[in-house]
Amino acid sequence: MFSYNVTSLTDSMRKALNRERENVGRSVYADRVRQILKHSDATDVLRHLKSSYARKDEGELPEELRWHDVAHKALNELAKSQKVVVLSHTEIKSRPELVEDLKQDGYRIDLVDDRGKQRADDQARQGNAPFHTLPTWIQSVNDSFEYRFVDEDQLTQDEISVWRRRDQILGLVGANRNEALRILVSETMRTSQDDTDGAWDRNLRAIVVKRTQLRSLQAFAGTLLHEVGHAITGTVDCTRSFENVLTEYLGRISARTLLTAAPNVTESNSQVNSQIARPSPKPPIVIKGIEFIPVESSAVAGVAYEDTTQTLYVAMKKGLRYMLSAVPKEVYIAFLNAESKGRYLPILFNGYRYQQMK
């Protein structure tokens, strides 16, 4: 990176020169060069350190920047002109969703080894780092949220019509609004950027939805269910775990839609109740205290349903019995009225949590 004219010799350098004056290796000068770079505040030196360090991801890493103390100095220079977050390879592997979040916030990710990460963490704890480490960046994101909450009586009539569908939306995935899962509306979200539509705020123990999402039922429902996934499961964006949660939600919603679209089932609950398939003349099947309604099916022997817990029980003709959780009543009614119950079983099992009963 630089050429050096070393005029002040150390004892080790003198010994090496005494042994061989013409073919002295670079290692002899390494310590002196390192000290020069560490303590230099010359503008040209700092500029070269910064520009060379900025290109390290391209594989162009000068020998001088392989020294941790010099590399750390170059990092500080780079962070004075760019938004930088220092991460270790371990942190990236455990939190892959950070890459997209950091890019959206305009940060450059500086990957360092454990020794470099320790230096960065130590400086960050002292409070004089021009860069962020993972803990300080997370804190800065949390600090960037500034809510201006909106009460229902401040909403427009159109917004209220969307807002009041929240319990129905939660019911699509078997969730319920309670003290542990509050839903709030805010005029603002993050002060640093305005593209955040919702958040699960662990400190408030609440889902906060930006008011603009109330402009349409689709936008509100999408944001609400996204944040419900975070709140209930604790998973984070851009992870396989969260993808599995969203897949489960899609399955539940699809099952509900398909089942309620069964033949001879109308949209009105009162109409549906009046059109429930007539019970079989056969007596109920009682198994371990559960009274199953016999049904006409080549696969299903009977079904039972508990209103209070939204639990659906299915008894198969081969003797197996299943318990499905958080099944809305209209789905149960649609299943009961379906001409082919065997056809809907895979949809039920894919859409709702179930377990085989003993």
Residues 61-87 have a mean pLDDT of: 92
Secondary structure of 103-137 in HEC code, one letter for each residue: HHCCCEEEEECHHHHHHHHHHHHHCCCCCEEHHHH
| Whole-number pLDDT of residue 263 | 43
Lowest mean pLDDT among 240-249, 264-273, 315-324: 264-273
- Alpha-carbon span 220 to 237, nearest angstrom: 18
| Whole-number pLDDT of residue 233 | 83
Gyration radius of the chain's alpha carbons: 32
117: pLDDT strictly greater than 80: yes
Structure tokens that stand for 245 in this block: 């949660």
CATH class of the domain at 152-234: alpha beta
| Whole-number pLDDT of residue 337 | 79
Q: Band of the pLDDT at 244, cuts 50, 70, 90? A: confident
Return the number of other C-beta atoms located less than 10 Å from residue 58's C-beta: 7
Lowest mean pLDDT among 94-103, 175-184, 239-248: 239-248
Q: State whether residue 348 is helix, strand or coil.
A: helix
The DSSP output letter for 188 is -
Lowest mean pLDDT among 7-11, 260-264, 309-313, 317-321: 260-264
| Whole-number pLDDT of residue 33 | 80
- Alpha-carbon span 303 to 118, nearest angstrom: 61
Question: What pTM value is reported for the model?
Answer: 0.55
206: pLDDT strictly greater than 80: yes
Lowest mean pLDDT among 29-33, 74-78, 119-123, 183-187: 29-33
Cα–Cα–Cα angle for 13, 18, 24, rounded to 5 degrees: 60
Residues 22-47 have a mean pLDDT of: 79
Structure tokens that stand for 157 in this block: 């009539």
Percentage of the residues of the chain whose pLDDT score is greater than 90:
36
| Whole-number pLDDT of residue 265 | 35
| Whole-number pLDDT of residue 21 | 56
Q: Band of the pLDDT at 18, cuts 50, 70, 90? A: low
- Alpha-carbon span 64 to 142, nearest angstrom: 37
Residues 54-62 have a mean pLDDT of: 82
Contact criterion met (CB below 8 Å) for 133 and 72: no
Q: Band of the pLDDT at 264, cuts 50, 70, 90? A: very low
List of residues 6+ apart from 259 with CB closer than 8 A: 331, 334, 335, 338, 344, 347, 348
Rounded to the nearest 10 degrees, how much is the dihedral formed by the CA atoms of 292, 265, 252, 222? Answer: -150
151: pLDDT strictly greater than 90: yes
- Alpha-carbon span 324 to 300, nearest angstrom: 15
Residue 246 to residues 46, 60, 150, 328, Cα–Cα distance (Å): 48, 41, 28, 19
Q: Band of the pLDDT at 187, cuts 50, 70, 90? A: very high
Structure tokens that stand for 43 in this block: 């503008």
Q: Band of the pLDDT at 269, cuts 50, 70, 90? A: very low
Strand runs (DSSP E) across the chain, as ranges? 84-88, 108-112, 132-133, 182-186, 198-201, 206-210, 285-287, 290-294, 300-306, 311-316, 321-324, 354-356
Most confidently modeled range among 98-102, 232-236, 314-318: 314-318
Lowest mean pLDDT among 107-121, 167-181, 240-254: 240-254
| Whole-number pLDDT of residue 274 | 45
- Alpha-carbon span 144 to 189, nearest angstrom: 8
| Whole-number pLDDT of residue 266 | 36
| Whole-number pLDDT of residue 209 | 95
| Whole-number pLDDT of residue 275 | 44
Lowest mean pLDDT among 33-42, 95-104, 278-287: 278-287
Residues 335-358 have a mean pLDDT of: 82
Name which residue leads in pLDDT, 277 or 152: 152
Q: Band of the pLDDT at 352, cuts 50, 70, 90? A: confident
Lowest mean pLDDT among 121-125, 151-155, 296-300: 296-300
Map out the domains of the chain as residue ranges: 1-81, 83-144, 152-234, 265-356
Q: Band of the pLDDT at 35, cuts 50, 70, 90? A: confident
For all residues of the chain together, what is the average pLDDT? 82
